[in-house]
Amino acid sequence: MRAIGQDTLGGPEVLKIVEIDRPVPGPSEVLVRVHAAGVNPTDWWHRTTGGLLNEGRPVPLGWDVSGVVEEVGLGVTMYRPGDEVFGMPRLPEPAGAYAEFMTSPARHLARKPAGISHVEAAALPIAALTAWQSLVDTADVRPGQRVLVHAAAGGVGHLAVQIAKARGAYVIGTASGRKHDFVRRIGADEVIDYTTADFVTAARDIDVVLDTIGGDYGPRSLKTLRPGGIVVSIASPAEAPLAAVAEQQGLRAGFTIVEPDNGGLKEIAALIEAGTLRVEIDTVLPLEQAAKAHELGEAGRTTGKIVLTVAG
């Protein structure tokens, strides 16, 4: 089968089409014919570093997937060949969605919402699960709370805005001026232009902050919280010491890593089918142009998601 591979760590130029053996599903796994694969920051991080688990060697790239079950392994009863599925298998271990076929634990997937394309479904899992696990599982966003989402037009941010609104929150997003219309259109009640205003003074009495940026955004975000509020960071493990500072102030803070989550995927699919959540697609490219997709993503100017198409 065709897949994207690399012989060495490095820039986008190291990515190339290779021919490798088609994988075989093991017990409790399914083989998925990949129709589309989402592109995410974790992809280019693994491309340049080899990730956490491979001692600095290249790993098969791609975690976001949407496709059709081709085969089922021993003991699988959730799916049959022909079922349309989407998900985020194995993260942080290698998954290999940049390929014509990939295997996945059956419970790392869910049925693809019928009303959206494979491209849209492939854009969802990592970003939507990150937003869901941060806002719902960690912060327990409730109706009437004030939620601040940083980088609200980004891959995670634009989905977080919609999930928070679906939970009944009052949502404030940060974004550059040219993206304000988009952020309001997806449901934000207020938008702060981070290039001209300080969100610390513009956003007050916040219950939940989703920090997708890192750096000084975590400590500064603490200043926007009301007593008992929480900053959830997805940006860097270095944010962990922020928790101790927050506790001293009667606040909460923490770093979270997205996990495969069949239940979360089902909740996201339900929001999609109810019409309260949609994913914004910035760019769609064929598998052969994975290097270009990484170049675009690393530039940091996209609105929404980048997706690679594999099968028709």
Q: Is 132 domain-assigned?
A: yes
Looking at the structure, do residues 136 and 236 belong to the same domain, yes or no?
yes
Q: Are residues 77 and 143 in the same domain?
A: no
Residue (of 283, 267, 302, 292) closest to 38 by Cα position: 283
68 and 167 fall within a common domain? no
Based on the fold, state whether residues 27 and 100 are members of the same structural domain. yes
Find the farthest-apart pair of alpha carbons in the chain and give their distance in angstroms, rounded.
57
Alpha-carbon distance 64 to 309, whole Å?
12
Q: Is residue 57 very low, low, confident or very high in pLDDT (cuts 50, 70, 90)?
A: confident
Q: Find the CATH number of the domain harbouring 158.
A: 3.40.50.720
Whether residue 146 is found in the same domain as residue 244: yes
Residue 65 lies in a domain: yes
Q: Which two tokens stand for residue 66?
A: 């949407």
Residues 117 and 131 in one domain: no
State whether 194 and 120 are in the same domain.
Answer: no
User: pLDDT per residue over 272-281, tens digit each?
Assistant: 999 999 999 9
pLDDT score for 58: 85
Is 295 contained in some domain?
A: yes
- pLDDT of 164 reads 98
Q: Does residue 75 sit within a domain?
A: yes
Q: What is the C-alpha separation between 62 and 119, in angstroms, rounded?
A: 14
The mean pLDDT of 119-134, rounded to a whole number, is 98
Range of the domain at 197: 127-255
Cis link prior to 41 (omega < 30° from 0)? no
CATH number at residue 58: 3.90.180.10
Does any domain span residue 203?
A: yes
Is 39 inside any structural domain?
yes
Question: Where does the chain have alpha helices with state H?
Answer: 41-49, 118-122, 125-132, 155-166, 180-185, 199-202, 217-222, 242-248, 262-274, 290-299
**Domain check: are 132 and 153 in the same one?**
yes
Give the total number of structural domains in the chain.
Answer: 2
Is residue 59 located within the same domain as residue 153?
A: no
Report pLDDT digits (tens) over 21-55.
Answer: 999 999 999 999 999 999 999 999 999 988 766 66
pLDDT in tens, 234-246: 987 655 678 888 9
Residues 218, 149 share a domain? yes
> How large is the average pLDDT for residues 61-73?
98
Residue 182: band (very low, low, confident or very high) from pLDDT cuts 50, 70, 90: very high
155 is a domain residue: yes
d(CA 212, CA 214): 6
Same domain? 208 vs 221: yes
Q: What is the mean pLDDT of the chain?
A: 94
Same domain, 8 and 106: yes
User: Is 174 within the bounds of a domain?
Assistant: yes
